[in-house]
Structure 1
Protein backbone atom coordinates (compact mmCIF):
# COMPACT_ATOMS: atom_id res chain seq x y z
CA UNK A 1 0.00 0.00 0.00
CA UNK A 2 1.30 3.46 -0.90
CA UNK A 3 0.68 6.17 1.70
CA UNK A 4 1.37 9.89 1.26
CA UNK A 5 2.26 12.21 4.09
CA UNK A 6 1.81 15.77 2.89
CA UNK A 7 1.45 19.26 4.26
CA UNK A 8 2.84 22.74 4.04
CA UNK A 9 6.59 22.94 4.71
CA UNK A 10 7.17 23.06 8.46
CA UNK A 11 4.19 20.96 9.53
CA UNK A 12 6.31 18.00 10.62
CA UNK A 13 6.37 15.60 7.66
CA UNK A 14 10.05 14.72 7.89
CA UNK A 15 10.09 14.43 11.69
CA UNK A 16 7.03 12.14 11.72
CA UNK A 17 8.41 10.10 8.83
CA UNK A 18 11.64 9.51 10.77
CA UNK A 19 9.65 8.04 13.64
CA UNK A 20 7.65 5.86 11.23
CA UNK A 21 10.89 4.71 9.57
CA UNK A 22 12.18 3.68 13.00
CA UNK A 23 8.96 1.66 13.45
CA UNK A 24 9.88 -0.30 10.32
CA UNK A 25 8.01 1.51 7.59
CA UNK A 26 9.63 1.97 4.18
CA UNK A 27 9.78 5.78 3.85
CA UNK A 28 10.78 7.68 0.72
CA UNK A 29 11.32 11.45 0.61
CA UNK A 30 9.70 13.34 -2.26
CA UNK A 31 12.86 15.42 -2.70
CA UNK A 32 14.84 12.25 -3.45
CA UNK A 33 12.58 11.54 -6.45
CA UNK A 34 12.18 14.86 -8.27
CA UNK A 35 15.59 15.72 -9.72
CA UNK A 36 14.84 14.80 -13.33
CA UNK A 37 11.53 16.72 -13.18
CA UNK A 38 13.02 20.09 -12.20
CA UNK A 39 12.07 22.75 -14.75
CA UNK A 40 13.69 25.78 -13.13
CA UNK A 41 14.93 27.30 -9.91
CA UNK A 42 12.80 30.25 -8.87
CA UNK A 43 15.27 32.49 -7.05
CA UNK A 44 12.64 35.08 -6.11
CA UNK A 45 10.53 32.50 -4.27
CA UNK A 46 13.56 30.45 -3.15
CA UNK A 47 11.94 27.37 -4.66
CA UNK A 48 12.29 24.87 -7.46
CA UNK A 49 9.61 24.37 -10.07
CA UNK A 50 9.00 20.81 -11.17
CA UNK A 51 6.77 19.19 -13.75
CA UNK A 52 4.34 17.86 -11.14
CA UNK A 53 2.08 16.11 -13.65
CA UNK A 54 4.94 14.21 -15.27
CA UNK A 55 6.42 13.36 -11.85
CA UNK A 56 3.08 11.96 -10.67
CA UNK A 57 2.48 10.10 -13.96
CA UNK A 58 5.89 8.43 -13.87
CA UNK A 59 6.07 7.83 -10.13
CA UNK A 60 6.46 4.11 -9.48
CA UNK A 61 4.08 2.72 -6.88
CA UNK A 62 5.88 1.98 -3.64
CA UNK A 63 4.91 -0.22 -0.76
CA UNK A 64 5.36 2.29 2.00
CA UNK A 65 5.26 5.99 2.71
CA UNK A 66 6.21 8.88 0.44
CA UNK A 67 6.56 12.17 2.29
CA UNK A 68 6.66 15.67 0.87
CA UNK A 69 4.55 18.74 0.26
CA UNK A 70 3.22 17.58 -3.14
CA UNK A 71 2.85 13.85 -2.49
CA UNK A 72 -0.92 14.25 -2.25
CA UNK A 73 -1.03 14.34 -6.07
CA UNK A 74 0.20 10.73 -6.22
CA UNK A 75 -2.26 7.83 -6.51
CA UNK A 76 -1.88 6.77 -2.87
CA UNK A 77 -4.29 4.50 -1.05
CA UNK A 78 -4.16 6.71 2.04
CA UNK A 79 -3.15 10.37 2.49
CA UNK A 80 -2.24 12.13 5.71
CA UNK A 81 -2.33 15.94 5.63
CA UNK A 82 -0.33 17.54 8.44
CA UNK A 83 -1.44 21.02 9.52
CA UNK A 84 0.02 23.71 11.75
CA UNK A 85 -1.43 26.95 13.06
CA UNK A 86 -0.07 29.72 10.79
CA UNK A 87 1.59 31.81 13.51
CA UNK A 88 3.46 28.76 14.80
CA UNK A 89 4.30 27.72 11.24
CA UNK A 90 5.71 31.18 10.58
CA UNK A 91 8.05 30.81 13.54
CA UNK A 92 9.17 27.34 12.40
CA UNK A 93 9.93 28.54 8.88
CA UNK A 94 11.80 31.65 10.05
CA UNK A 95 13.95 29.44 12.29
CA UNK A 96 14.79 27.37 9.19
CA UNK A 97 16.07 30.52 7.52
CA UNK A 98 13.34 30.76 4.89
CA UNK A 99 13.14 34.10 3.10
CA UNK A 100 10.32 36.47 4.05
CA UNK A 101 8.63 35.79 0.68
CA UNK A 102 8.79 32.02 1.17
CA UNK A 103 7.49 32.28 4.76
CA UNK A 104 4.56 34.44 3.66
CA UNK A 105 3.69 32.15 0.74
CA UNK A 106 3.66 29.04 2.94
CA UNK A 107 1.78 30.64 5.85
CA UNK A 108 -0.88 31.90 3.46
CA UNK A 109 -1.14 28.47 1.81
CA UNK A 110 -1.69 26.93 5.25
CA UNK A 111 -4.31 29.51 6.22
CA UNK A 112 -6.15 28.87 2.94
CA UNK A 113 -6.14 25.05 3.37
CA UNK A 114 -4.38 24.79 0.00
CA UNK A 115 -2.91 21.31 0.42
CA UNK A 116 -6.04 19.87 2.04
CA UNK A 117 -8.18 21.22 -0.80
CA UNK A 118 -5.80 19.81 -3.43
CA UNK A 119 -5.81 16.47 -1.59
CA UNK A 120 -9.60 16.27 -1.62
CA UNK A 121 -9.63 17.24 -5.30
CA UNK A 122 -7.20 14.40 -6.08
CA UNK A 123 -8.62 11.73 -3.78
CA UNK A 124 -12.26 12.55 -3.11
CA UNK A 125 -13.39 12.28 0.48
CA UNK A 126 -12.07 8.83 1.30
CA UNK A 127 -8.92 7.71 3.06
CA UNK A 128 -7.71 11.18 4.07
CA UNK A 129 -6.58 11.94 7.60
CA UNK A 130 -5.91 15.53 8.63
CA UNK A 131 -3.81 16.04 11.77
CA UNK A 132 -2.99 19.28 13.58
CA UNK A 133 0.69 19.16 14.60
CA UNK A 134 0.77 22.62 16.18
CA UNK A 135 1.34 21.33 19.71
CA UNK A 136 1.31 17.57 19.16
CA UNK A 137 4.33 15.46 20.02
CA UNK A 138 5.97 13.90 16.96
CA UNK A 139 5.65 10.43 18.48
CA UNK A 140 1.90 10.91 19.10
CA UNK A 141 1.35 12.08 15.52
CA UNK A 142 3.32 9.09 14.23
CA UNK A 143 1.20 6.76 16.38
CA UNK A 144 -2.02 8.19 14.92
CA UNK A 145 -0.64 7.77 11.40
CA UNK A 146 0.39 4.19 12.18
CA UNK A 147 -3.18 3.47 13.36
CA UNK A 148 -4.62 5.06 10.21
CA UNK A 149 -2.36 3.04 7.93
CA UNK A 150 -3.36 -0.16 9.74
CA UNK A 151 -7.06 0.71 9.44
CA UNK A 152 -7.46 1.24 13.20
CA UNK A 153 -8.21 4.99 12.91
CA UNK A 154 -10.94 6.24 10.55
CA UNK A 155 -10.36 8.79 7.83
CA UNK A 156 -11.23 12.27 9.04
CA UNK A 157 -10.64 15.80 7.81
CA UNK A 158 -12.20 19.23 7.58
CA UNK A 159 -12.15 20.39 11.22
CA UNK A 160 -9.07 22.60 10.98
CA UNK A 161 -9.92 26.24 10.35
CA UNK A 162 -7.13 28.79 10.13
CA UNK A 163 -9.27 31.44 8.40
CA UNK A 164 -8.76 33.84 11.32
CA UNK A 165 -5.15 34.11 10.11
CA UNK A 166 -6.05 35.36 6.64
CA UNK A 167 -5.65 38.95 7.83
CA UNK A 168 -2.55 38.03 9.83
CA UNK A 169 0.33 40.43 9.21
CA UNK A 170 3.70 38.78 8.60
Structure 2
Protein backbone atom coordinates (compact mmCIF):
# COMPACT_ATOMS: atom_id res chain seq x y z
CA UNK A 1 0.00 0.00 0.00
CA UNK A 2 1.32 3.41 -1.01
CA UNK A 3 -0.34 6.37 0.72
CA UNK A 4 0.38 9.99 -0.15
CA UNK A 5 -0.53 12.71 2.35
CA UNK A 6 -0.67 16.09 0.66
CA UNK A 7 -2.21 19.53 0.96
CA UNK A 8 -1.41 23.17 0.67
CA UNK A 9 1.43 24.25 2.98
CA UNK A 10 0.00 24.97 6.43
CA UNK A 11 -2.87 22.47 6.35
CA UNK A 12 -1.29 20.32 9.08
CA UNK A 13 -0.14 17.28 7.14
CA UNK A 14 3.39 17.05 8.58
CA UNK A 15 2.23 17.53 12.17
CA UNK A 16 -0.54 14.95 11.74
CA UNK A 17 1.80 12.39 10.19
CA UNK A 18 4.28 12.92 13.04
CA UNK A 19 1.42 12.37 15.49
CA UNK A 20 0.38 9.24 13.60
CA UNK A 21 3.88 7.81 13.99
CA UNK A 22 4.13 8.80 17.68
CA UNK A 23 0.78 7.16 18.42
CA UNK A 24 1.91 3.94 16.75
CA UNK A 25 -1.20 3.94 14.55
CA UNK A 26 0.54 2.42 11.51
CA UNK A 27 1.57 -1.13 10.80
CA UNK A 28 5.23 -1.49 11.76
CA UNK A 29 6.04 -2.60 8.21
CA UNK A 30 4.91 0.76 6.78
CA UNK A 31 7.70 3.25 6.19
CA UNK A 32 6.97 6.94 6.70
CA UNK A 33 8.84 9.47 4.57
CA UNK A 34 8.65 13.25 4.75
CA UNK A 35 9.43 14.11 1.14
CA UNK A 36 10.64 17.63 1.95
CA UNK A 37 13.29 16.13 4.26
CA UNK A 38 14.17 13.52 1.63
CA UNK A 39 14.63 16.20 -1.02
CA UNK A 40 16.95 18.13 1.28
CA UNK A 41 18.94 15.11 2.51
CA UNK A 42 19.39 13.54 -0.92
CA UNK A 43 19.74 16.91 -2.70
CA UNK A 44 16.90 16.08 -5.10
CA UNK A 45 16.76 19.65 -6.32
CA UNK A 46 16.95 21.35 -9.67
CA UNK A 47 17.66 24.89 -8.54
CA UNK A 48 16.22 27.51 -6.22
CA UNK A 49 13.14 29.73 -6.64
CA UNK A 50 14.15 33.11 -5.21
CA UNK A 51 10.62 34.53 -5.35
CA UNK A 52 9.15 31.66 -3.32
CA UNK A 53 12.28 31.20 -1.22
CA UNK A 54 12.29 27.45 -1.81
CA UNK A 55 14.16 24.72 -3.60
CA UNK A 56 12.89 23.49 -6.94
CA UNK A 57 12.25 19.75 -6.58
CA UNK A 58 13.69 17.27 -9.06
CA UNK A 59 10.49 15.24 -9.51
CA UNK A 60 12.23 12.51 -11.53
CA UNK A 61 14.78 11.91 -8.76
CA UNK A 62 12.03 11.64 -6.13
CA UNK A 63 9.95 9.34 -8.36
CA UNK A 64 12.99 7.12 -8.94
CA UNK A 65 13.66 6.94 -5.19
CA UNK A 66 10.02 6.01 -4.49
CA UNK A 67 9.83 3.49 -7.36
CA UNK A 68 9.26 -0.06 -6.23
CA UNK A 69 8.74 0.86 -2.59
CA UNK A 70 5.59 -0.64 -1.09
CA UNK A 71 4.09 -0.21 2.36
CA UNK A 72 5.01 3.46 2.44
CA UNK A 73 3.28 6.62 3.56
CA UNK A 74 4.88 9.77 2.20
CA UNK A 75 3.91 13.33 2.92
CA UNK A 76 4.53 16.70 1.32
CA UNK A 77 2.60 19.40 -0.46
CA UNK A 78 3.92 17.63 -3.58
CA UNK A 79 3.09 14.04 -2.56
CA UNK A 80 0.10 13.80 -4.90
CA UNK A 81 2.46 14.07 -7.88
CA UNK A 82 3.79 10.57 -7.22
CA UNK A 83 2.34 7.09 -7.65
CA UNK A 84 0.04 6.14 -4.75
CA UNK A 85 -2.88 3.83 -4.03
CA UNK A 86 -4.59 6.35 -1.74
CA UNK A 87 -4.14 10.11 -1.52
CA UNK A 88 -5.09 12.06 1.59
CA UNK A 89 -5.64 15.76 0.89
CA UNK A 90 -5.52 17.87 4.05
CA UNK A 91 -7.74 20.94 3.73
CA UNK A 92 -7.89 24.08 5.86
CA UNK A 93 -9.94 27.27 5.65
CA UNK A 94 -7.80 29.89 3.87
CA UNK A 95 -8.12 32.41 6.75
CA UNK A 96 -6.77 29.84 9.21
CA UNK A 97 -4.14 28.79 6.69
CA UNK A 98 -2.87 32.38 6.44
CA UNK A 99 -2.69 32.59 10.25
CA UNK A 100 -0.69 29.36 10.44
CA UNK A 101 1.73 30.52 7.76
CA UNK A 102 2.12 33.92 9.42
CA UNK A 103 3.06 32.13 12.65
CA UNK A 104 5.84 30.44 10.62
CA UNK A 105 7.03 33.86 9.43
CA UNK A 106 6.21 33.11 5.80
CA UNK A 107 6.25 36.18 3.53
CA UNK A 108 2.93 37.92 2.90
CA UNK A 109 2.96 37.02 -0.80
CA UNK A 110 3.49 33.35 0.04
CA UNK A 111 0.64 33.38 2.56
CA UNK A 112 -1.71 34.97 0.04
CA UNK A 113 -0.68 32.60 -2.75
CA UNK A 114 -1.23 29.53 -0.57
CA UNK A 115 -4.58 30.76 0.77
CA UNK A 116 -5.79 31.44 -2.77
CA UNK A 117 -4.54 28.02 -3.87
CA UNK A 118 -6.53 26.40 -1.06
CA UNK A 119 -9.67 28.36 -1.97
CA UNK A 120 -9.31 27.28 -5.60
CA UNK A 121 -8.84 23.57 -4.70
CA UNK A 122 -5.52 23.42 -6.56
CA UNK A 123 -4.01 20.46 -4.70
CA UNK A 124 -7.32 18.58 -4.60
CA UNK A 125 -7.86 19.08 -8.33
CA UNK A 126 -4.34 17.89 -9.15
CA UNK A 127 -4.78 14.85 -6.89
CA UNK A 128 -8.08 13.86 -8.50
CA UNK A 129 -6.68 14.37 -12.00
CA UNK A 130 -3.64 12.21 -11.23
CA UNK A 131 -5.26 9.47 -9.13
CA UNK A 132 -9.03 9.55 -9.71
CA UNK A 133 -11.75 10.55 -7.25
CA UNK A 134 -12.02 6.99 -5.92
CA UNK A 135 -8.48 7.20 -4.52
CA UNK A 136 -8.72 10.67 -2.90
CA UNK A 137 -9.71 11.38 0.71
CA UNK A 138 -10.28 14.97 1.86
CA UNK A 139 -9.73 15.72 5.54
CA UNK A 140 -10.72 19.16 6.85
CA UNK A 141 -8.08 20.09 9.42
CA UNK A 142 -9.24 23.61 10.25
CA UNK A 143 -10.74 22.82 13.66
CA UNK A 144 -9.24 19.38 14.30
CA UNK A 145 -6.36 18.60 16.62
CA UNK A 146 -3.30 16.92 15.11
CA UNK A 147 -4.35 13.75 16.93
CA UNK A 148 -7.78 13.82 15.29
CA UNK A 149 -6.25 14.39 11.85
CA UNK A 150 -3.85 11.49 12.52
CA UNK A 151 -6.83 9.24 13.34
CA UNK A 152 -8.48 10.24 10.05
CA UNK A 153 -5.31 9.41 8.13
CA UNK A 154 -5.08 6.07 9.95
CA UNK A 155 -8.67 5.32 8.85
CA UNK A 156 -7.66 5.97 5.24
CA UNK A 157 -4.65 3.68 5.58
CA UNK A 158 -6.63 0.83 7.16
CA UNK A 159 -9.47 1.19 4.65
CA UNK A 160 -12.20 2.10 7.14
CA UNK A 161 -12.80 5.54 5.59
CA UNK A 162 -14.53 6.04 2.25
CA UNK A 163 -13.01 8.22 -0.47
CA UNK A 164 -14.24 11.80 -0.51
CA UNK A 165 -13.24 14.37 -3.08
CA UNK A 166 -14.97 17.65 -3.74
CA UNK A 167 -16.79 17.82 -0.40
CA UNK A 168 -15.08 21.01 0.76
CA UNK A 169 -15.56 24.50 -0.65
CA UNK A 170 -13.77 27.68 0.34
CA UNK A 171 -14.92 29.77 -2.63
CA UNK A 172 -16.43 32.39 -0.27
CA UNK A 173 -12.83 33.34 0.55
CA UNK A 174 -12.33 34.59 -3.00
Do both proteins adopt the same fold according to a TM-score greater than 0.5, normalized to the shorter chain?
yes
The answer to whether the Cα contact below 8 Å between 2:25 and 2:154 also exists between their aligned partners in 1 is no
- After superposition, give the CA deviation of every residue in 1:41-73 in whole Å (9 maximum; x if it has no partner): 112221221232453254232422101000011
How many residues of Structure 1 are paired with residues of Structure 2 in the alignment? Answer: 166
Tell me how far 1:129 sits from its aligned partner.
0.5
Q: Which runs of 5+ in 2 are unaligned?
A: none
The reply on whether 1:65 has 2:70 as its aligned counterpart is no
Separation in 2, partners of 1:117, 1:57: 24
Which is further off, 82-91 or 131-140? Answer: 131-140
Is residue 2:12 matched to residue 1:12? yes
Runs of 4+ in 1 over 6 A off after TM superposition: none
CA offset digits 1:86-134 (Å, max 9, x no partner):
0010000001000112111111111110000000111011121101100
**C-alpha distance 162-53 of structure 1, shift in aligned 2 (>3 A):** farther
What is the TM-score of this pair, normalised by structure 1?
0.91
Whole-Å separation in 2 of the counterparts to 1:162 and 1:14: 22
Aligned alpha-carbon RMSD (Å): 1.5
Whole-Å separation in 2 of the counterparts to 1:122 and 1:76: 10
Give the superposition deviation at 1:32.
2.3
Are positions 1:28 and 2:36 aligned together? no
* Shift of residue 151, structure 1, vs aligned partner: 1.0
Gapped regions of structure 1 (runs ≥ 5): none
Does the 8 Å CA contact 2:3/2:87 hold for their aligned counterparts?
yes
